[in-house]
Structure 1
C-alpha cells in the first residue's frame, strides 16, 4: 500500500479556497472527518462499503455511500460515484476489476447485486475501498470547493448564503458538518432534487439560517435547520417511497455535528 500512502498524503494537504477566503484543514482533521462519514454511512462495517438499500434503484459505494446508477436508470439524485472513479484515475490509482471497464453500475436490480456480493470482484472492490478511505474523503473535500460557487449561482440570497457558509466554516468543528452534509444530501441546486418544489441540500440549510454568532450557536442552528429541511423532504416525498423510515437515522447523523 505504499503507493496509496504517497498519494494520500498529497491529497490530504489540500487548501480549500473559496471566493476571497481560504480555509485550511489539517491532515488529522480531514482523516477524522472521513472516519465520521464512514461511521455515518456504514456503521463501520466494511461489507457495507458496497451496498444497495431496500426500496432504492441504485447501489451506494464507499465511505460516503456514493450513488452509482445502472445503465438504463436515470434517477433524480446526484450520481457521485462516477466522479470518484474519475478522481482515482486523475491520481493514477489502479482500479479493481469491478470498476475498471464500466462507467455504469454492473447490476440492474438489488436482487442481482445480492447474488454478486460474495464474488471475487466485489470482495476485491470492498478491500480497495477500505484501503483508500483517505482518497475518498479528499474527493469529498474537493467537492466542497465547488459547492459554494454552485449554490451562489442558484440563489437570490447570495450574500446571506455566503455569510452563513463561512459562519459555520469558521466555527470550531464547523468544516465537518459542511463536508459531511454536502456528501450526504448534496448542494441542493438540482431541480430534480426537489419534492413539492422544496429541496433538502446544503443550500436550503444556509438559506434558512438567520444568526450571526460563530461557534456553538452556529452549529446548533445548522443542526436545527438541517433537521427541518429533512423533515420537510419526508413530508413532501411520495408515500410509496416510505422515506419516513430513514428520518431517525438521518437525525442521529445530524446530531454528530455538535
Structure 2
C-alpha cells in the first residue's frame, strides 16, 4: 500500500476569514505538526502575517501550540467539528445504507470508524438482529492499540509516527490477548500493511472478534475503516477472513459515495 502525498492547499481567499480558513485547510491536510518557519517557506507569505493568523486560530481553539512553543497541531475544537460533520453526514445517508446492506449480507454488526487523537470513534453503526450482540452506538470510542480499525490506521503511518502516538496513549491490558508491547505491535503493523486488513481477536472485549478494512481514497492516506464484529462463538478469526470480500466491496462503495457526493444504489455493492 503506497502512501500518497497530501495535496497542497493554497493559502488565499477574498476575505481575512477565508484566508484563515485556507491556512487551516493546509495544516489539517498534513500528518505532522507545522511550524511558523515551515509555513513561511511553503506559502511565501510574510512571517508577521502568518504569525498573526496562527495566533488567531490558536485563540479560537482550532489549533494548539505544542510544548516546544514552535510547532502547531489541530486543536480539540477542530477535531470535534470534523467528528460532528462525519457523524451527522453518515447517520441517515448513503453510507448508512451501505452498512445496512453489509449487515444483511454478513448477518453481524458493522460499523464505520475513524481515528481521533489516540482513540477510534464509531461514526456509524448498524446492529445485527441476533439477540446476543455487543452494543456500541455511533460516537462510542475504543482504544487505538486494541481495535482492528485503530491498528489498521496506524499501519499506514511511519514507525516514528506510530511510536510517537502510542507513547502518549495508555496501552492498557484489556484482556489476556491485548498486545501492549511496542515491538510486538510494530511486527503486527508490518503484517497489516502487507495484507490490507486488521483483526481484533478478543483484544478489547473478551469474546468479541472484529475484522476491518480501509476505505480507499485516491487523494491520500485513508482515515476511515469499515468493520464487522461479533461474538467469537459466531465469528472466529478464520471465519472473519471470509467476510473480507464483502467488507472490501462496502469500503469501495463508501469511497465512491464520498468522492461523488451522491447516494449510490446498494444493488451495486454486491456486484
Q: Same fold (TM over 0.5)?
A: no
Larger Rg: 2
More helix by share: 1
More strand by share: 2
